[in-house]
Structure 1
Amino acid sequence: MALKEINTSADSKKSELIQNINKGLAAGIISLNTDQSKITYHCFRDYSTSFKNPEEKVRASYFSELVLTYQYPVKRINLEVTVPRRTPEDRADIIVYEDDECLSSYLVVECKKEGITDAEYKQAIEQTFGNANSMRAKYAAVVAGNTRTAFDAAGFKPSERERNVIADIPVKYGKAPKYKFIKGDKAKDLKTVSRDDLISALEKCHDTVWQGGKLAPTTAFDEVSKLLFCKMKDEKDGTKKGQPYRFQCGTHETASEVAERIDEIYQEAKKQDEEVFKEDIRLEPKVIYSVVEHLQGLALNKTDLDTKGVAFEKFMVDYFKGKMGQFFTPRPIIDFAVKLLQPMHDDLVIDPSCGSGGFLLSVLDTVRHDAEKDYDEQEAYDIWHNFAKKNLYGIEINDQIARICKMNMIIHDDGHTNVISTDSLTFLKDIKELHKGFTKDRFSLLLANPPFGAVVKSAEKEKKYLDQYKLGEGRQNQKTEILFIERCIDFLKPGEGRMGLVLPDGILTNSSLQYVREVLLERCVITAIISLPQFAFSHFGAGVKSSLVFARKKAKDEVVEDYPIFMAMAEKIGYDATGRDDANELPDILEQYRQFQAAPDFFV
């Protein structure tokens, strides 16, 4: 019995490749055996082959498109055709013919698996041209997953590889379109993508920009972010309805022409938002052209926020882990801390060491999901968008990571305007000069994973730098994590401001640091302490034993008698020492904390 739909995971089913294969199966133009090990194409001749190769899935997907989308007769398509006059002998993956006898070649297609290198892609183009020229075909196409290039093979010299690029192959022997993607056109608008497709596209973009080490990895990431910025700008308000999107490659356009148009989008965006990117795009036109090919068909703005958020986070974490691991807090720890503190849409939220924005974005996601659950669609949209723009604040000392945080927030539909790059431990008046929103005693919610281990030396700082802190007064040097505790308390609103901090266990246990604990207890009510395992941050490049400390800032003259503190030890936190998925005790600990909140005396 042949399968009518390919068996795969829920998220993979959303990918365009899988959707196309399922359409082909439903139409009966391809079939699979029961264990999906073998595929049969029902075309000019029935052709059966193994379905285990990733390349075969790409061919099955594009074959289905040729018949169902581009309307080529299935009996005029043949596969694995021996190409004459090729040495060594070669076979064309797919050929579309102009006649029922399949003698006059119209389109030659080469299919490659998703994620091949740029060098491999160029090699595939040469292979396709060799086949197309030998078969005297009018058109040629290379398909590598979601990256595609089509060519007018007959109207140009055999050596041409730029001017003969077309936006897309013709529909049903028609004319090649000037542009493939038109805003607001139901048939030609951009499509939303699955998480897997988006991750793959981002990885391909980075590999293209990185150029095998030609650019520094962090520079390459910056450049990819600039082009993503252009892509989202074009989708949002850079192209009018009914017009071709500007972020795409048109028929017979050179790399320089495409790069020039992308730079126009970038310069417009820079004028509107100078704080995200200050430098121009620093890539060669051919590199920009390749990135546009990877991204042009994806509807980033329409793709749901959870998909975009997870994809962009995976892209960042996979890339920076080990290089800049200190700027990333693992997702299970972030989500636990945010859920415990229960952010509301009227909270004013700050992360004074925000890194790539993990805590801020988790808070935003929580507020968004709550709004979508409790209000109608437009009300919910207004609530969380206003929250993103007006209620989220972040400080990041590393300028490049601050830009990544802003980009991360733009991917999530905004909230980047209140992220600044400066030293959170500097004088509050200096921070306020950069952005008037960063004032003392203002915020109702604070989450942070402060930098550990660095030492602030009085001799290296301006006068009275340490003296602005009770925990630094009269000292020649002090650890950053200790000063951060006091600065975090300073930012909180008296009486109601609550916070969650990742702190090294030494602050909670070392007898020499008793004075630090006294300041914390003097100014705050400790609500919970959750001990994390030694490996909690090890695969991010930090191995200090840490705990999550939750507290509320006392009102000015508030006196609190002895009170119970919720304490727990988490041994399983969703991943192991190598970063692989593992059991997670944090949801159970959260449930126990809720019970403690409801009846604290019961736990004493």
Structure 2
Amino acid sequence: MNPVPSVTAPSVQPVGSVPDGKVADFLTGKFVNDTPEEYVRQNIEKALVRQYKYAPADCAPEFTIRVGSSRKRADIVVFDKGADHTQTNAYILVETKRADVKPTHRTEGVGQLQSYMASSLNVRYGMWTNGTDRLCFAKRGDSKGGWSFEEIIDIPGFGQTEADAQRPSRKDLKVATADNLLFAFRRCHNYIAAHEGKQKTEAFWELLKLIFTKIEDERSPKLNFFATPSERSSSTVSSTAKKRIQGLFEQRVVKKYPTIFDAKDAYIDLKPEVVAYVVTELQGYSLLRSPVDVKGVAYEEIVGSNLRGDRGEFFTPRNACRMAVSMLDPQPDERILDPSCGTGGFLITGMNHALEYIEKSERGQWEDPAQGTEYEQAELYRRRDEYFRQCVFGIDLNPALVRAAKMNMVMNNDGSGGLFQANTLENPHKWSTKLHEAIPLASIDVIVSNPPFGAKIPIDDEEILSQYHLAAVWDQDENGAWAIRLDKQGNHVLQKSQPPEILFIERALQLLKPGTGRMAMVIPNGILNNPGNAYIRNWILKKAQVLAVVDMQRDLFQPNNDTQTSMVLMRRLSADEEAVAEAEGLDYPVFMAVAETIGHDKRGNVIWRQLPDGSDALVKRVEVITEIDQATGNEVLREVEVTDRLVDDELPEVAGAYREWLAGQQ
């Protein structure tokens, strides 16, 4: 086996730079101070353009308006279409604040926004938000010639009436951008926790019931997941909304997903006014059509804050998932499994990678690749559904994580039917009949996994340990050869316990198809480096071809865990190859790389790539975004050019370098 020297990954070419402490404004491209308040504003600017469909030319940040005898700066102003940027032509005002400024703040709260609205004659709507809180208002004339401000559910999008914004139809649903869905989930979770007196985890599960109901409602011909302004504002009227949503939950969720929601879970245990609030925060989005990463960040934040890490479970960052999946390149006809699936992040990344092939193949046959006919769309969904049912599988021991993963899968195209709660390391004959039939040993094409690891959760059950060569005691003779120690009866001598990550390596290889099955697994570097683990490395080389080893930056799992890990790719050897490996060893090149940057520091803060002069690099890229056609309500694809700061993350470049290297080996 010949390791390949670290490959120099192709670099992303910057098109400009951002001075230290600055960020490029989404609307103007000008540099502004990178502050917590600016973070909120940039998210809202993106939402106004991409979600609410206002033209960038009709929006302006930091616009000066006259309030009485003073001149103030409104954070964002939306003007009438094509109109001059004057206070007279202002249509919507938005005030954005940092997260710790409350709506009741004496000078920076909602009162500030309303004073600006009152001073702008033709302004009709306003929004105040600190990210966590978001309040929208309509300006109404009163009988005395003054103004009043009525709280509404949402501001109208471009071309929308106010009534449409308060109860959106399918064509009015918004595809989430940036962190706006994260903000919405956070608002809902915090509202439940504050108004129900529930424990954090209890609040989380009730929120997931409503998210699930929202998703299933989007799949129905007519949308009924909504609450009206009066239902949100009145505790008496809100009971109507609660009754409607409870009916949807029972009919479309509980009956469809009995393995997720049993009889005791069939009731949404929230006050009517809380249900109405959460529904209004979610009803304007299309959760099915929003980008995978946008949903992933939002979902995994609330999942992680409630279910993380009590058994060595540290969820794999999305960029590491994408790198591994890109390197493995799972195809639509390949069965993919995560044997320790957690909340499903790794599996969803792999699943959607394969779905891109299906989507590209189907759209390539459409007369209009951006928007197919009803028949063409139906055929695409049929192929996707077939893939979900036949090719996507996950197992996890933690029932709460399996349940959360199933919900995550449903929100990301589905595939939840292939998820099972079981002990992957247990003898497969003890698995349920359904699991054993779905995932027999030697039946999987691709495995992606970050197994739980750590000496604090050892496997010491002799019945489990007896299945594994790597649970035995190994001895090395004077010639360097390794062999399992045997007792007087010729049985393997077992170690008293073994960390789970070691056993997961062997179980994963058992699950793969001989000769073709391949895997990517996060493995602690101690397994790869420590002298005491040499027998593990020897065993791996007799059972698998090591395709690649990527040494991950130590902060990959921070701020939760600082274990040094590598992403290791392997292919299971065929029986003939095993025989050769056992007799004389195999000689082949191995791709090796060191990821020195992974996009965040040990506190979890984003790190931006810098140019030699110390400024942040700017890059242009083309994004394919999903939108909802305003006329038909169908999804359409559109390309947009985006200029943004470049995250200092080498993982995409490592994946690209591996694919290039692999092509050269063939």
Alignment TM class, shorter chain as reference: 0.7 to 0.9
Does residue 167 of structure 2 align to residue 181 of structure 1? yes
Shift of 1:328: 0.8
The CA distance in 1 between the partners of 2:350 and 2:177, in whole Å, is 23
- CA deviation string 1:66-107 (max 9, x = no partner): x9xxxxx9899999xxxxxxxxxx8954889xxxxx9xxxx9
The CA distance in 2 between the partners of 1:77 and 1:586, in whole Å, is 41
TM-score under structure 2 normalisation? 0.67
Shift of 1:437: 0.7
The equivalent position to 1:7 in structure 2, one of 19, 22, 28, is 28
The equivalences for 1:359-370 within 5 A come to: 359-370=346-357
The CA distance in 1 between the partners of 2:409 and 2:355, in whole Å, is 13
Q: Structure with the greater relative contact order (CA < 8 A, sep ≥ 6): 1 or 2?
A: 2
Equivalent residue, structure 1, for 2:227: 248
TM-score under structure 1 normalisation? 0.73
Corresponding residue pairs, total: 516
Does residue 553 of structure 2 align to residue 566 of structure 1? no
- Partner SS state of residue 288, structure 1: helix
Shift of 1:592: 3.9
Does residue 194 of structure 2 align to residue 211 of structure 1? yes
Letter of the 1:452 counterpart: F
The CA distance in 1 between the partners of 2:93 and 2:575, in whole Å, is 81
Does residue 174 of structure 2 align to residue 191 of structure 1? yes
The equivalent position to 2:254 in structure 1, one of 267, 270, 274, is 270
Does residue 662 of structure 2 align to residue 597 of structure 1? yes
Are residues 581 and 145 of structure 1, via their aligned partners in 2, closer, same or farther at CA, if it must alter by over 3 Å? Answer: farther
Are residues 49 and 477 of structure 1, via their aligned partners in 2, closer, same or farther at CA, if it must alter by over 3 Å? Answer: same
Contact kept in structure 2, 1:528 and 1:549, CA below 8 Å:
yes
- Partner SS state of residue 478, structure 1: coil
The CA distance in 2 between the partners of 1:538 and 1:564, in whole Å, is 32
Equivalent residue, structure 1, for 2:479: none
Are residues 48 and 451 of structure 1, via their aligned partners in 2, closer, same or farther at CA, if it must alter by over 3 Å? Answer: same
Shift of 1:13: 5.0
The equivalences for 1:147-158 within 5 A come to: none
Are residues 147 and 224 of structure 1, via their aligned partners in 2, closer, same or farther at CA, if it must alter by over 3 Å? Answer: farther
The CA distance in 1 between the partners of 2:599 and 2:443, in whole Å, is 34
Contact kept in structure 2, 1:446 and 1:498, CA below 8 Å:
yes
The equivalent position to 2:569 in structure 1, one of 550, 553, 568, is 550
Equivalent residue, structure 1, for 2:151: 142
Are residues 453 and 434 of structure 1, via their aligned partners in 2, closer, same or farther at CA, if it must alter by over 3 Å? Answer: farther
- Partner SS state of residue 499, structure 1: strand
- CA deviation string 1:568-588 (max 9, x = no partner): 222222333332235233344
Structure 2 spans left out of the alignment, 5+ residues: 1-25, 30-40, 95-110, 364-371, 473-493, 609-647
The CA distance in 2 between the partners of 1:543 and 1:64, in whole Å, is 52
The CA distance in 1 between the partners of 2:204 and 2:451, in whole Å, is 24
Are residues 37 and 318 of structure 1, via their aligned partners in 2, closer, same or farther at CA, if it must alter by over 3 Å? Answer: farther
Contact kept in structure 1, 2:598 and 2:650, CA below 8 Å:
yes
Shift of 1:294: 1.0
The equivalent position to 2:269 in structure 1, one of 273, 282, 291, is 282
The CA distance in 1 between the partners of 2:149 and 2:254, in whole Å, is 38
Are residues 325 and 425 of structure 1, via their aligned partners in 2, closer, same or farther at CA, if it must alter by over 3 Å? Answer: closer
Are residues 454 and 137 of structure 1, via their aligned partners in 2, closer, same or farther at CA, if it must alter by over 3 Å? Answer: farther
The equivalent position to 1:221 in structure 2, one of 200, 204, 207, is 204
Shift of 1:490: 1.3
- Partner SS state of residue 226, structure 1: helix
- Partner SS state of residue 468, structure 1: coil
- CA deviation string 1:307-362 (max 9, x = no partner): 43454345555776788983410122211111111111111011111112121111
The equivalences for 1:275-424 within 5 A come to: 275-278=259-262, 279=265, 280-305=267-292, 307-313=294-300, 316=303, 326-376=313-363, 378=376, 381-424=381-424
- Partner SS state of residue 209, structure 1: helix
- Partner SS state of residue 394, structure 1: strand
Equivalent residue, structure 2, for 1:581: 607
% identical equivalent positions = 28
The CA distance in 2 between the partners of 1:170 and 1:585, in whole Å, is 46
Does residue 129 of structure 2 align to residue 113 of structure 1? yes
Shift of 1:180: 4.5
- Partner SS state of residue 272, structure 1: coil
Are residues 46 and 261 of structure 1, via their aligned partners in 2, closer, same or farther at CA, if it must alter by over 3 Å? Answer: same
The CA distance in 2 between the partners of 1:113 and 1:505, in whole Å, is 44
Does residue 483 of structure 2 align to residue 500 of structure 1? no
Contact kept in structure 2, 1:6 and 1:18, CA below 8 Å:
no
The CA distance in 2 between the partners of 1:524 and 1:21, in whole Å, is 52
- CA deviation string 1:350-390 (max 9, x = no partner): 11111121211111221122333343264655444432332
Letter of the 2:495 counterpart: R
The CA distance in 2 between the partners of 1:555 and 1:354, in whole Å, is 26
- Partner SS state of residue 326, structure 1: coil
Contact kept in structure 1, 2:176 and 2:285, CA below 8 Å:
yes
Contact kept in structure 2, 1:537 and 1:543, CA below 8 Å:
yes
- CA deviation string 1:575-604 (max 9, x = no partner): 333322352333443344345434559xxx
Contact kept in structure 1, 2:558 and 2:601, CA below 8 Å:
no
Equivalent residue, structure 1, for 2:469: 470
